Structures are given as C-alpha cells and as structure tokens.
Chain A
Amino acid sequence: MEVRNKQNFAAGLFFLAFGIFAAVVARSYSLGASDDIGPGYFPFWLAVLLAVLGTVLSVSALAPKAEATEIGRLDWKAVAWIVGAVVLFAFLLQILGIVFSVLVLVIVSSLGSHEFTWKGTLASSLLLAALVYGVFVMGLHLQFPTWPTLFS
C-alpha cells in the first residue's frame, strides 16, 4: 500500500486526532436530552463527524487512483523567527513598554529574512516605533504600558 496523496493523508490524520481529542473531552460535559441539549451535545457530535471525515480523507488518499501530492517542506526557521518575535513581544510588553517592544519585534522578526541588513532594519524599526507611538498612543489613546516600568 502506498500513500499517494500525502497532503490529504496527513491532513486526514490530523483531523482524526483532533476529532478524537475533542470528542473525548466533550464526553466530560453533559450531552443532555434532545429537547434540552447539554453543553456536550454539539461539540461531541461535531468532533465525531470530524474524526469520521478525517478517516475518510486519509483512507481515500491511499486509493491507487488518488491524485499524487507531496507535502512542501515546512520552513521551521521562518516559523521560529516569526512566532519567536511575536511571543517575545508579548512577554516584553509589560516590562519594556510598547515603544521598546516594537523595536525588539521588528528587529527579531527581520532576522528571519533572507535579505537582512542591520542598517535597513534599524531604520525601519525606529520608524515603526515612532509611528506606533504617534498613532496608537498619542493619536488614538489606546491603553498600553508605554515606557519601561523602571522609568515610571
């Protein structure tokens, strides 16, 4: 047996796993009766349906007539830079305030680019930090910790 449609096979397994997990968790909520459905009713049946369709998807990917697809290489480096920068931003926001956190976010995320240069990145990070300060803090009065907590 050969997995011809690799994309669909993997997606199907993912849906199956997600469905089983969601269904098992939903079992801990009351299903209720049909004239008064409980909190578990809707999620449980959705999850079961998802698991069933995921199985169908995976199995049909094995069919000899299935369209052959390959899964493109996952660019984990890009994921790490972007998600890392964002998580770092969230973490630093309370400590450093919005202005410095934006600088960090721009610099770290720019490091993920193929064409990174310090000069351009520093310039754009300063520009964006100034823009954020001007528009969101001064202009729109959104509530942020603006400066590092040490300063205030």
Chain B
Amino acid sequence: MDLIANLSLGFATALSLQNLLYAFIGCLLGTLIGVLPGIGPVATIAMLLPVTYGLSPTTALIMLAGIFYGAQYGGSTTAILVNLPGESSSVVTAIDGYQMARRGKAGTALFTAGFGSFFAGCVATLVLAAFAPALAELAFSFGPADYFSLMVLGLVGAIILSSGSILKAICMILMGLLLGLIGTDVNSGVMRYTFGIPALFDGIDFVCVAMGLFGFAEVISNLSLKDKRETFTNKVSGLWPSMADFKRMLPAVFRGTTLGSVLGILPGGGAVLSSFAAYTFEKKISKYSDEFGKGAIEGVAGPESANNAAAQTSFIPLLTMGIPSNAVMALMVGAMTIHNITPGPQVMQNNPELFWGLIASMWVGNLMLVILNLPMLGVWVKLLTIPYRFLYPAILVFCCIGVYSLNSNVANIYITAILSVFGYVLAKLGCEAAPMLLGFVLGPMMEEYFRRALILSQGSYSTFVTNPISLSLLVATAGLITIMAVPSIKKKRQEAFQED
C-alpha cells in the first residue's frame, strides 16, 4: 500500500538521529514559549529562522513544526495551573482547567490535556497522511484563476477566525496585501512604493513583518500591563484520572479531535477557532452543562484535543496547495522559500522525504511532548516565576538578531521597528495583526495568479466565474460573507469569542 510505503519513508526520515534531535529541540522550545506568556509561536518561529539556515530543509521544517505544536501543549499547562493561557488557543482551556486546579484536580486536568492532545495528534497525523496526497492531486488541476479564487476564499476564511470586526479584518488584509507589493515588480521591473530606499528594493521581508507585529508590538503592549499570578504548583498530585473522569473525558476527546481535524483543514481554520468551537460544542451537548465554568473535565478535553488536531491538519492546505491558512503557516511558507522549496502540490513529488518526514515527525513529536511534559511539569512551572522584566529584553535581543541575520543588513531592524509602532497603534484600535500577515504573504502570489488568469483569458474577467473550480470557490466565499452578515449568526460568533 502506498500509504504504508510513504509513512515508512517518513518514519525513516523522522527517526534519523539528527531529525530526532531537532524535533526534540523544537518541541522543547515550543513548550517553553507556550508556557511563557507574552511570546507566541509566530514570533518564536520568526526568531529561530536564522538558526535553521545551516540545516537541511527537512530538518529545519521538522524543528519549526515542533515549535508550533509544542506551543499548544505548553500553553495548556499554564492555562490550567495559573489561569494564564500562554497561547491564544488555550484561552478556553483556562476556563475549566483552572477551576479544576482550584478544586485540587490540577493533576487530572493536566493529564486530560496531555492525553487529549496526544490522541488528537495521532489521529490528525493519519488524517494528514491520508488526505494530503488526494488534495495535492486535485491541486494539480488548478489553473491560475482557481488559485486566485482559492486565496480569496482563504483570506475571507481567515476573517471568521479573527475575533473582532469583520470590516476591520478585511482592511487589515488589504493593508497586508499592499505592504506585500512593496519592492521591484517581477514582471515590469518597476520599483513600487520604494521611494528610493535601497532596503525596500527587494521588498520587505516577511520576517520583519512577523517580528514587528508579533514580537516588538506585543512587548510594547505587555510592558504597560502589570502581572499578577497565583500558581497551583504545589498541588499537582494524582495525575491519573478516576474511572468516572475517564468515562466523561474520552467521548469529549473523540469529538474534539474530529472537530479540530475538520476545522484545521478549512482555509482560515486553525487552533484558536477549533478550541473555541469545541468548547461551545461540548457545553451545548453535555449532560453536565451546569458544571461548565466550574471545572468540567469535558471543557478541558474537548478544546485541548481540538486545538492540537487543528494545529496539525492546518498543514494540509499549506503542503498540498501552498496556501497558508493562518499566521504560523504563513511563516512556514517563508521558511520553505528560504530553503528554495516552493510550497504546493509538487512538494510531495519533488521532496517526498521532506513531506512524509514532516508528517511522521509530528507523530514522533507528539509522543515526545507527552514524555517531556508530564515529568518536567515542575521545571515549566518554575519558568513562570521569571519576571517579565527579564523576559522581554531577551525577546528583543533574539528578534533583532533574527531580523539582522536575514541578510546581514541593519536596515531590516529599522523596518521592523517602524512596523512595530504601526502594529501597536493598530492593536490599540482593535485591529488584529494576523490577517495582515496573511495578506502580506499572499499579496504577491495573488497578483501573479490574477495576472496569469487574465492573460490566459485574453483580458476577460469572466474567467473567474466561467471556470467551474474558481466559480465554486467564489460562491463559497460569497456564502461565507453572507452567513457572517446574518444578524443571528453574527451574534453567535461574538458569543463564541466572548466565552470567557
């Protein structure tokens, strides 16, 4: 069977000593930043890109992916123990997980999160292995018009997941698209929006945008906050859940995994959306719905499984179509580009060891995380006692070095600094940065596909609606916008994001 042959190639790659080592480093770092509030996977992956320059592309991606799903694990630990979600995808875990900890069931909550994540990770890896080849096959039949429409759908999908105003999210995407066009136009050689500044001739590097918006700007925002923490570190005992707990947890893990796997594949889907959706869903169907908010085990099991499943299946659109569905995946595009790999359906054919190695490494990584997380709990919790005033200068140092070493140019640091002020001000105005980063990465691609589609159709705009694939994607986009505009659903969506 193909699947087995492919997976064994993958495991052979993932289990090589070097890849195992870097998967471990990735998971460790991911857990670390997941535990530490105020720094997320986007900034970390951006910071560590220079570290991967010397590695082979496969090893580099394995490590970066490890950071991403490691962060999901780490985030839940702090959410449960200190009511401080290290990652936005663990926000809902904090609701019931922290209450469980307060009732002396911190160990059970942590076990539930770990078990749910591991189970979800295993299933999602299989989903990825089973569906990705078929989707890549499909992607080969996509023309430029189809790709353009797919990106439109992806961007609109990304808006649903952003919690704020839809209109503002669209504006942020447009800003991102425009920023992405800065630099020399590949077709005409015209310098666009460069204003004679040499550092802009090749365009702004996406790492600068990611660091500015997610690294520096967040440091500035956090600096004005004072932190106050209450930990339940000493009360972690009895990891193993009782039989009754186990019986309640298991179905929630199954449901969360299913929901997360599906939502992760959708354009715009991802860990955050899935965990919110899973929580709402569990609350709705549970027999114990009155316990939610007071320490219901389903409220930990569902969202934790869902966010981990989604973190992994969100690689599917990236690896098969080359379309990033969220900010982390946008960074993965950048990482692949640095290593001269164009994300898309051809990856599976041209770099099978990268494709299958990455998938297998996710399973290996999940196993590592379970082993890593439970015994090392004490260490992670200790980390929380590091005050932010020691943390943020370190973040700045790593960001600066990361940006500088892109091409040994200090101009990148200046650009990042300017973008961070933008990011900070926009955040104060309630505009989220993630859609902007997504737009930034997709901008040049969208323009290119748009141009090619029009050349093929000899200038007829109807190509976007006469082509069946493109038409159905655009119809789906229109459907999404309509659904979001319906007042009752609009209200639901707001509720889902205000669950805490």
- CA separation between A113 and B220, bound complex, in Å? 10
State whether the Cβ of B484 lies closer than 8 Å to any Cβ in chain A. Answer: no
Contact A36/B416 with A82-B216, A125-B393 known, Cβ cut-off 8 Å: no
State whether the Cβ of B39 lies closer than 8 Å to any Cβ in chain A. Answer: no
Q: Which of A33, A78, A87 contacts B223 (CB 8 A)?
A: A78
Interface readout for B173-186 with A: 1 if CB under 8 Å, 0 if not? Answer: 01101100100010
- Which B residue sits closest to A33, measured CB to CB? B459
Contact A49/B165 with A79-B424, A106-B393, A142-B405 known, Cβ cut-off 8 Å: no
Are B397's CB and A82's CB within 8 A? Answer: no
- Which A residue sits closest to B418, measured CB to CB? A83
Residues of chain B within 8 A (CB-CB) of A18 are 175, 178
Residues of chain B within 8 A (CB-CB) of A98 are 401
User: Interface of chain A, helix or strand or loop or mixed?
Assistant: helix
Most buried by A among B171, B193, B413: B171
Residues of chain B within 8 A (CB-CB) of A86 are 216, 396, 400, 413, 416-417, 420
State whether the Cβ of A20 lies closer than 8 Å to any Cβ in chain B. Answer: no
Residues of chain A within 8 A (CB-CB) of B396 are 82, 85-86, 105-106, 109
- Which A residue sits closest to B391, measured CB to CB? A124
Are B408's CB and A143's CB within 8 A? Answer: yes
Interface readout for A26-37 with B: 1 if CB under 8 Å, 0 if not? Answer: 100110011111
Contact A136/B220 with A39-B187, A72-B428 known, Cβ cut-off 8 Å: no
Are A15's CB and B171's CB within 8 A? Answer: yes
Contact A124/B54 with A90-B414, A105-B400 known, Cβ cut-off 8 Å: no
Are B190's CB and A29's CB within 8 A? Answer: yes
Q: Which of A37, A121, A124, A128 contacts B450 (CB 8 A)?
A: A37
Q: Which of A22, A72, A75 contacts B193 (CB 8 A)?
A: A22
- CA separation between A116 and B425, bound complex, in Å? 25
- CA separation between A74 and B461, bound complex, in Å? 45
Q: Which of B175, B190, B397 contacts A106 (CB 8 A)?
A: B397
Are A34's CB and B461's CB within 8 A? Answer: yes
- Which B residue sits closest to A82, measured CB to CB? B220
8 A Cβ contacts from A75-109 to B: 75, 78-79, 81-83, 85-87, 89-91, 93-94, 98, 102, 105-106, 109
User: Interface of chain B, helix or strand or loop or mixed?
Assistant: helix
8 A Cβ contacts from B413-451 to A: 413-414, 416-417, 420-421, 424-426, 428-431, 446-447, 450-451
* Size category of the binding interface on chain A: 35 or more
8 A Cβ contacts from B164-203 to A: 165, 167-168, 170-171, 174-175, 177-178, 181, 185, 187-188, 190, 192-193
Are A112's CB and B223's CB within 8 A? Answer: yes
- Which A residue sits closest to B409, measured CB to CB? A90
Contact A90/B410 with A11-B171, A113-B223, A140-B54 known, Cβ cut-off 8 Å: yes
Residues of chain B within 8 A (CB-CB) of A14 are 425-426, 429
Residues of chain B within 8 A (CB-CB) of A141 are 54
Q: Which of A7, A35, A43, A94 contacts B429 (CB 8 A)?
A: A7
State whether the Cβ of A50 lies closer than 8 Å to any Cβ in chain B. Answer: yes
State whether the Cβ of A3 lies closer than 8 Å to any Cβ in chain B. Answer: no
Are B459's CB and A35's CB within 8 A? Answer: yes
Are A120's CB and B389's CB within 8 A? Answer: yes
Are B171's CB and A109's CB within 8 A? Answer: no
9 closest Cβ pairs, A-B complex: A35-B459, A90-B413, A34-B459, A113-B389, A11-B429, A39-B190, A39-B185, A75-B224, A78-B223
Please list 9 pairs of residues, one from A and one from B, whose beta carbons are closer than 8 Å in the complex, sorted by A's number. Answer: A12-B171, A14-B429, A35-B457, A37-B454, A43-B181, A82-B420, A83-B220, A113-B392, A140-B51
Which residues of B does A touch, CB under 8 Å?
50-51, 54, 165, 167-168, 170-171, 174-175, 177-178, 181, 185, 187-188, 190, 192-193, 216, 219-220, 223-224, 226, 387-390, 392-394, 396-397, 400-401, 404-405, 408, 410, 413-414, 416-417, 420-421, 424-426, 428-431, 446-447, 450-451, 454-455, 457-461
